Chain A
Amino acid sequence: MKKFLKNPVISIYIALLILVVIFSLMSPTFLTVNNILTILKQSAPKGIMAVGAMFVMLTGGVDLSVGAEVSLLGIVMASLMAKAGWGILPAVLVAFVLGAVIGLINATLVVKVNIPPMIATMGTSWILQGLSYTICGGLPVTGLVKGFSSFGQGSVGIIPIPVIVFAIVVAIGAFILRYVPYGRHIYSVGSNAESTRLAGINVSFVRMSVFVICSVLTALAAIITLSRVNSGQPSTGIGQEMDVLTAVVLGGTRFTGGDGKISGVVAGIIVIGVISNGLVMIGAGEYIQTIVKGLILILALVIYTIRARVEASAKARNV
């Protein structure tokens, strides 16, 4: 049990396996190629956001505005295309630029103004969500440019395009954390920002940049989401930040920063996807899903706390 707890990545994959077995036993259509691909496709946008959210958490921050950002950027793009007659490319570019700006605002509030990240991004979250309702008057925006949906709904062979994009983001994220000096600095900052600063590292830059990365990846997720649904819904992103946060913590990322692996976060997001899908398959309603997700977030933090305690006592024994 202790070893099991010690390696968060292995333990989350074991949990995933157990979930798959349970749902397959309960629903004959759960473990089919089609359904697995559906789960992956549905998980992909949140997975992309989770990579960004993980970067933020590795530095000791947290970004709760990603859900609202998905709502706002979806509405902005949909409005530009359906109402202003813009093409796909300029609308998508605007989404990326807006994403970067939102990231910069969060970064400034947290790093320069020194507001605790949870509060700062909760504030921006409300603003973004309010803006998305304001822009569309609360109504869905339909009539997007033809061909836009082929991005989110298309596939290469049997693999959905969103899943491919997710895989690429994961690969790049893993590469940065493992091989790029910047990735090493992210871990250092999360473990001990002041030590890192005194070693001559630009800690402010690291702490700010992860918010921008997170928001730009969220813009990518917003584009995929809009393309998949093919209409702008002002409430699309509501609650998504909780799924993302749960996946990141469930995947073994240390809540206070400095430790975590992308492979764990990938498993975390798939666990969330499997649970959502599996609950539907066995006929549990949407309301039950919300309860279950809350329970998982708490469970993830309980495991995290126990693990921290096990590590601490192991260390105490070493002294």
Chain B
Amino acid sequence: MANSEIILQLQNVTKQYPGVIAANDVSIDFCKGEVHALVGENGAGKSTLIKLISGAIKPTSGSIMFGGKDLTKLTTNEVRKTGIEVVYQEFNLVPDLTVYENIFLGDFETTHGGLMLNRKEMIKRSQALFDSLGINIDSTSRVSDLSVAYMQFVEIAKAISKNAKVLIMDEPTAVLTNKDVEVLMEIVKKLRSEGVTVIYVSHRMEEIFLLSDRITIMRDGHKITTVNTAETDRKELIHHMVGREVNESYPERTNEIGEEILRVENLSGNGIADVNFTLHRGEILGFGGLVGAGRTETMEVLFGRFPKITGKTFIHGKEVNIRNPRDAVKNGLAFVPEDRKTLGLIMDKSILHNISIVSLDKNAKAGGFIVDDKKMAELTDKQIKDMAIKTPSADQEAGNLSGGNQQKVVLGKWLASDDAEIYIFDEPTRGIDVGAKHEIYLLMNALTARGKAIIMVSSEMEELLGMSDRLIIMSEHHQVGSLEKSEFDKNRVLDIASGDK
């Protein structure tokens, strides 16, 4: 470390909940002007630490010293005033306001003694802020018109505009494509050079190594260790995180690609156009491209969530008309959406309720009139067992599960019904920790081994190349290319995805 002045210090911080110790005697020193990565599996205690530092929760014992003050004695607002800002995974932007209004929200520049907004000044200052960060954004555009990546940038700019000395980023790149990640990394580097301390929570190994100066690893509420990034490697990190050896490579596949099962011709609608592809039994067809390229939108049209304008869909060579998700399900499609919390699950309902939902009508007794509770419980228990869903019981609310287990429940509802032949996975492992990721891959492979076909949208290059048999690449709402397995190459995919052929 060039500059090792300690700016923020956690001293023996413990946070105890009834039955759980979310942070157990954690001591970490954060230095001025460093990028300090915080890593660990889901539930390791990273979010707890962020909440403790930001003042959202108070520790059971221990202190957090910043600029001579103990943050644990302050409220969230007081903590922010000392110069600590958090950029959360969930955006805190007002979508109907403009970019500059969001940046100055709660602290508007005014004229005439506070009577009038000083728009000019606010626009000027926010534009200067974006320029200094190297972000190309029009500060008068409405936030709702921005892509997810740009919303993230606005969040960051908003935090910086408050003259943050410590900036905490909670999985900032979880929603970004590789290209946007690069922009983000440039921003972080710039901040570091200006002496801002960045605490960086991420699951993505690649950027942790590219970006961070030091890494603190958390597991089960304990701080395992803090290491200098230059003195460690991926394998050691994962070993610390998981507490056991994990094979990070993609599991061996023994699928046999069979006959054509799905053919899509000239699909358009929901903002996308000209999508053509075929899918075969036992195959994983990857969909690559940048965020906003129209991959999710394509899946939504295919599954009938939004209407198509043109296009034909053939299943087993027979044309089918999918007007809504119900038609899709009837025709053997299953959808595991990217946003599993709002589109895949019913968060306030039990695992049993969630897994039963697809097969409830089919398995009803008395001519479809009475729910077969026993059968549903059996089907659910089978899924919990087969997929090793970690839960005390089938009655647990889906919202209480970790990301990986939630994803298994989403998959479980389709598997319990087992009518589907075509599974659409949209970002199957987003926000899921290393161990659970591997399990999801194994589940996908088990599906193809049974002759099912998979369409996988993924923004993780490694995953896309590691799991797919073939690739379709989209850019700006159109299909722009396809690659056979033999042609798989990271740079080639990026080239096509960014529009260069």
Q: Taking the nearest CB of chain B, how far is it from the CB of A66, in angstroms?
A: 27
Residues of B contacting A197 in the complex (Cβ-Cβ under 8 angstroms): 305, 324-326
A188 to B337, alpha carbons, bound, how many Å?
17
From the candidates B343, B369, B371, name the one contacting A198 in the complex (CB within 8 A): B343
Contact of B95 with A by CB under 8 A? no
Q: Taking the nearest CB of chain B, how far is it from the CB of A199, in angstroms?
A: 5
Contact of B267 with A by CB under 8 A? no
160-194 of chain A: CB within 8 A of chain B: 179-181, 184-185, 187-188, 191-192, 194
A153 to B369, alpha carbons, bound, how many Å?
35
Given known pairs A199-B325, A199-B413, A200-B325, the reply for A184 and B360 (CB within 8 Å) is yes
B19-51: contact bitstring with A at CB < 8 Å (1 yes, 0 no)? 000000000000000000000000000010000
Residues of B contacting A184 in the complex (Cβ-Cβ under 8 angstroms): 353, 356-357, 360, 371
A180 adjacent to B369 (CB under 8 Å): yes
Contact of A202 with B by CB under 8 A? yes
Residues of A contacting B346 in the complex (Cβ-Cβ under 8 angstroms): 188, 191-192, 195-196, 258
Q: Taking the nearest CB of chain B, how far is it from the CB of A208, in angstroms?
A: 15
Residues of B contacting A194 in the complex (Cβ-Cβ under 8 angstroms): 342-343
* Residue of A whose beta carbon sits closest to that of B402: A319
Contact of A114 with B by CB under 8 A? no
B371 adjacent to A179 (CB under 8 Å): yes
Chain B: number of interface residues, binned into ranges: 35 or more
A180 to B358, alpha carbons, bound, how many Å?
14
A194 to B353, alpha carbons, bound, how many Å?
15
Which of B109-117, B282-290, B327-335, B452-460 contacts its partner? B327-335
A171 to B337, alpha carbons, bound, how many Å?
38
Residues of B contacting A191 in the complex (Cβ-Cβ under 8 angstroms): 346-349
347-381 of chain B: CB within 8 A of chain A: 347-349, 353, 356-358, 360-361, 364, 368-371
Contact of A82 with B by CB under 8 A? no
Please, how many residues of chain A have a CB less than 8 angstroms from a CB on the other chain? 24
Residues of B contacting A200 in the complex (Cβ-Cβ under 8 angstroms): 325-326, 328-330, 358
A201 adjacent to B345 (CB under 8 Å): no
B273-311: contact bitstring with A at CB < 8 Å (1 yes, 0 no)? 000000000000000000000000000000101000000
Q: Taking the nearest CB of chain A, how far is it from the CB of B365, in angstroms?
A: 9
Residues of A contacting B360 in the complex (Cβ-Cβ under 8 angstroms): 181, 184-185
214-230 of chain B: CB within 8 A of chain A: none
Contact of A318 with B by CB under 8 A? yes
Residues of A contacting B371 in the complex (Cβ-Cβ under 8 angstroms): 179-181, 184
From the candidates A187, A188, A195, A317, name the one contacting B344 in the complex (CB within 8 A): A195
Residues of A contacting B357 in the complex (Cβ-Cβ under 8 angstroms): 184, 188, 196, 199, 201
From the candidates A181, A202, A318, name the one contacting B400 in the complex (CB within 8 A): A318
Given known pairs A194-B342, A199-B413, the reply for A179 and B326 (CB within 8 Å) is no
Q: Taking the nearest CB of chain B, how far is it from the CB of A246, in angstroms?
A: 24
A191 to B354, alpha carbons, bound, how many Å?
11
A264 to B410, alpha carbons, bound, how many Å?
31
Residues of A contacting B413 in the complex (Cβ-Cβ under 8 angstroms): 199
A193 to B90, alpha carbons, bound, how many Å?
21
From the candidates B326, B335, B343, name the one contacting A202 in the complex (CB within 8 A): B326
In the A-B complex, list the 7 residue pairs whose CB atoms are closest, starting with the nearest. A200-B329, A192-B346, A191-B346, A181-B360, A199-B357, A200-B326, A181-B361
- Extra contacts, 18 of them, besides A181-B371, A195-B345, A199-B357 (Cβ < 8 A), are A180-B370, A181-B361, A184-B371, A185-B360, A187-B349, A191-B346, A191-B348, A191-B349, A192-B347, A195-B342, A196-B346, A197-B324, A197-B326, A198-B344, A200-B358, A258-B348, A317-B18, A319-B47
- Give residues in B with beta carbon < 8 Å to A: 17-18, 47, 303, 305, 324-326, 328-330, 335, 337, 342-349, 353, 356-358, 360-361, 364, 368-371, 399-400, 413
